Structure 1
Amino acid sequence: MTRSPTSHSRFPSAPPDGLGAAVLLAFLATAGLFYVNIMAAIVDGIVSGIGLSEGQAGQVGSVNIYGAAVGALTAVFLIRAVPWKILAVVCLVLLIGIDLASIGIQTFEALLPVRAAHGFAGGILTGTAFAVIARTANPDRTFGMLLFVQFGLGGLGVMVLPPLAPIYGTQALFLALALFSLVTLVMLPFLSAYPPRAKTNVSEGAIRWGPLGMTLLAIFIFQAANMGLLAYIIRLGLDYGLNRSYVSTALGLATWVALVGPLLVMICGLKFGRFKLLLASMALTLIGTAVFHYSANPAAYMIANCGTGITWGFVIAYLLGMTAEFDKAGRASAFGGFVSKLGLASGPMVAGWALAGGGGYPSLVNLAVAGLAISGVVMLWPARTLDRARKQAA
């Protein structure tokens, strides 16, 4: 580590574009949304720990992410007015305080606004971290590191935390979140200053609203369908007769296996075009999701989790990349992240309503399959449009 020439910090700072800084920034970005990676454990913990209904638990998870979506938009304005390290410290302290306060809450009415506030602070933190990552020389590598941190620690979380929920209630869940924020807070002083980059005179160009709108719609439905099922995936396994230990292990392993998805994106790139890759991956997604109907078989449950985890990471990486193609200025990419969070938030809420209506988990699987099928149809037209434009340019 070296001391930043633009900072008077007493702490040595990691080289701003080095691997160490990428790890630190990955933790900073993950801290605000880490609960998303362990959403299944949180929903299960709320149900088994404090006795809320499955529908109420889903709503708690949803408002947490809705708060993050609003916070992410707010960060766009705050990052210009407030030094980013001060903003990060405030958010991390708020996250720790809210998680610790959540331990003593036992009612749905009290937990709902508290977790919404947690999401808002986390969204601001994540938006701030993304803005800082954009100031590095190699943001792609840092976002790649972010994905590995999220999937790796998320896998560990869903393996370790669910068995603790029936014993310790929500205490273990919220303590884990507070501990993660505390570790990130300790890391923060070792980051460089990352001042804003000078503006360029590059023309922003016209936004291609038609295919962009279709891409954003596909992102929303795809994320909602996936997260709606994932939020209840522990409860689904238990309902089909699997034991809690096996369910936790299966989810943890599936989260780590899912790293294959973004790795394949980096390998395949655009050499095969987007249309064919998305068509094939969505077909596999539909098959893998339908396999959850056979979750009474432990092997089927494991295969379905691993398969859909891989395709989730694969497809969403291409969809977010498509938003950048339709708007070179980057405005659409930022909005794509916002739409993605809205989808992640809406999924558990709709799934909770479906379960509250008495449909059961087979109906929830069917709902997810239907949503994924719709998103697949919607995303293929803009993908074909981009492939044709790329061929013409070549």
Structure 2
Amino acid sequence: MLRISTFSTAIATASNQPGLRHWLAALLLAFITMSGLSYINFLPALVSALAGEIGFSEVQAGQIVALNGYGALCGSSLAIFLVRNIRYRPVLMTALLLLASMDIATLWLDDFLLLLGWRFLAGLAGGLALGLGVALLARHPYPDRAFGALLFVQFSVGSLVIYLLPTLEAMLSAHAVFYVMASFAVLSLVFVCLLPTGRLLAVPAQAPGASLGSDRRSAVITVLLLLAAMLVYQIAASAIWAYAALIGTAAGIANETVSTTIAVTGMLGLLGALLPMMLGNRYGRLPWLIAGCVLSISAAVLLTFSGQGPYYTLALALLFFSWPAVQSFLLAATAVLDSTGRLATIAAVVSSIGLATGPLLASALITEGNFSQMLQVGASLFVVSLLLLYKPILWSGQHAKEA
């Protein structure tokens, strides 16, 4: 049996190129972090299940998902104050155990208001696990690659679950998606046991990204713009992602074809995540971020023509390719600006706000199966994100480079 007792060294030190220990550390932490908010990876399947056989309306499904996301926001906010002073193993295990229990218990809840509160609490536990996981990933010596691993795991899991879920629903019930979510939390409990013991203490003060005090005002502006860009991008992407399946069916595409299309095009997210994993910050982050935002804008525009199958497929392919790359590079930019991991945890909170707000915004913009207004707003938000990230990425690149 593989014993991973040397991962503390892998997280604390770096060589010129990442070794096997660095990759193993990144992948384990990526899966644990993913499981805290695993439903995001197959959000269309969750929304479709809630708005289908489980019996809620499309708007109610969006609200349930949004409350889960706001619970995650509170949990990640709590992690901000814990990352420097706690022993992460017992906290992570407690959060994941609560999350698994609440996901299973959801099967017996059919009252809308009760389910709203219950999923908020489940999100609270998952958000805490997410925040701690992000802090650990931020302290990885290769943050671009570590966050690329996170997005790689997310899109791998998302595509696989969306592809298998119809079969699982036939075998179990419409609640199969909650069985899957609980299973990920349980598996993450095992992975936590393989991680090193200790506290999430700050790394040495002279680590990359730790010396920004010489221009405090520019640093603050950089951080705020960077977080704003991340927030706006996540709102737009999650709004479209939440209703991706319903956009296809509303356009007259068969349910089975929609599920297959989402699963297959979602695999392109793996390629998008591989960019930061393989390249790191070797060629800079800005060109990839600009390209990713442009592709995302194109995806939102193309989805307005989703009645034609090729446009629907191409749009999802563009979105799924660009989303993980954009998020990985933005998270890595926050990691190099603060070596303690606290800023990355704040970024996780901001990301949770965006992920929760996107479905809620989308539910307010759709009218009787018409998604045009929502898609137009999504395209506009991608443009805003591109404008917001340009200067902070340039500034951070001048002050902090990958080790």
Bin for the TM-score computed over the shorter chain: 0.7 to 0.9
**CA, structure 1 residues 165+368, in 2 after alignment: closer, same or farther (shift >3 Å)?**
farther
Quick check: 105-114 or 180-189, which moved more? 180-189
Counterpart of 2:226 (choices 185, 204, 215) is: 215
* TM-aligned CA deviation for residue 87 of structure 1: 1.3
Distance in structure 2 (CA, Å) of the matches to 1:163 and 1:371: 36
Residue deviations 1:267-309, cap 9 Å, x none? 6665665554433332222122211122223222221111111
State the partner residue of 1:375: 385
1:122 aligns with 2:126: yes
* Correspondences of 1:42-81 after superposition (within 5 Å): 42-79=46-83
CA distance in 2, matches of 1:268, 1:145: 12
Partner letter of residue 379 of structure 1? Answer: L
Query: Distance between the aligned counterparts of 2:262 and 2:127, measured in 1?
Result: 25
Contact 1:204 1:328 in 2 (8 A): no
TM-score of the pair, normalised by structure 2: 0.83
- Could you say if the C-alpha distance between residues 30 and 283 of structure 1 is closer, same or farther in structure 2, counting changes exceeding 3 Å? closer
Query: Using the alignment, how far apart are the partners of 2:331 and 2:138 within structure 1?
Result: 15
- 1:285–1:311 Cα contact (<8 Å) kept: yes
Residue 184 of structure 1: aligned partner = 188
**Match for 1:41 among 42, 45, 49?**
45
Alignment of 1:278 onto 2:289: yes
The residue number in structure 1 matching 2:372 is: 362
Does residue 245 of structure 1 match 2:249? no
- TM-score when normalising by structure 1: 0.85
Q: For 2:274, which of 263, 282, 303 is the aligned residue?
A: 263
Other structure's SS at 2:261 match: helix
Amino acid at match of 2:56: L
Stretch deviating more after TM superposition (214-223 or 137-146): 137-146
1-structure distance, mates of 2:291, 2:277: 17
Measured in 2, the distance between the counterparts of 1:320 and 1:131 equals 11
SS of structure 2 residue aligned to 1:259: helix
Partner of 1:97: 101
- Going from structure 1 to structure 2, the CA distance change for 1:358 and 1:377 (only over 3 Å counts) comes to farther
Q: Which one of the candidate residues 293, 299, 304 is aligned to 2:310?
A: 299
Deviation, structure 1 residue 82 = 4.6
Secondary structure of the residue aligned to 1:360 is coil
Q: 1:284 to 1:138 in 2, by over 3 A?
A: closer
Q: Residues 260 and 71 from structure 1, CA distance in 2 versus in 1: closer, same or farther, beyond 3 angstroms?
A: same
Structure 1 position 260, deviation (Å): 1.7
Aligned residue in 2 for 1:230:
241
Q: Against the structure 1 CA distance between its residues 276 and 136, is the aligned structure 2 distance closer, same or farther, given a 3 Å change threshold?
A: closer
Consecutive unaligned residues in structure 1, runs of 5 or more: 3-11
Match of 1:312 among 306, 323, 327: 323
Q: Could you say if the C-alpha distance between residues 136 and 268 of structure 1 is closer, same or farther in structure 2, counting changes exceeding 3 Å?
A: closer
> 2:283 & 2:189 partners in 1: Cα distance?
42
Contact 1:14 1:21 survives alignment (8 Å) = no
For this pair of structures, how many residues does the alignment match?
A: 379
Q: CA offset at residue 327 of structure 1? A: 5.7
Tell me by how many angstroms 1:45 deviates.
0.5
- CA apart distance, 1:314: 2.2
Change (3 A) 1:111 1:359: same
CA contact (8 A) 1:135 1:196 kept: no
For 2:340 and 2:139, how far apart are their aligned partners in 1?
Answer: 15
What is the one-letter code of the residue matched to 1:353?
Answer: A
**Contact between 1:49 and 1:166, CA under 8 Å: does it hold in 2?**
no
- Give the Å deviation of 1:169: 5.0
Alignment partner of 1:342 is 2:353: yes
Unaligned 5+ runs, structure 2: 11-20
**Greater displacement, 74-83 / 256-265:** 74-83
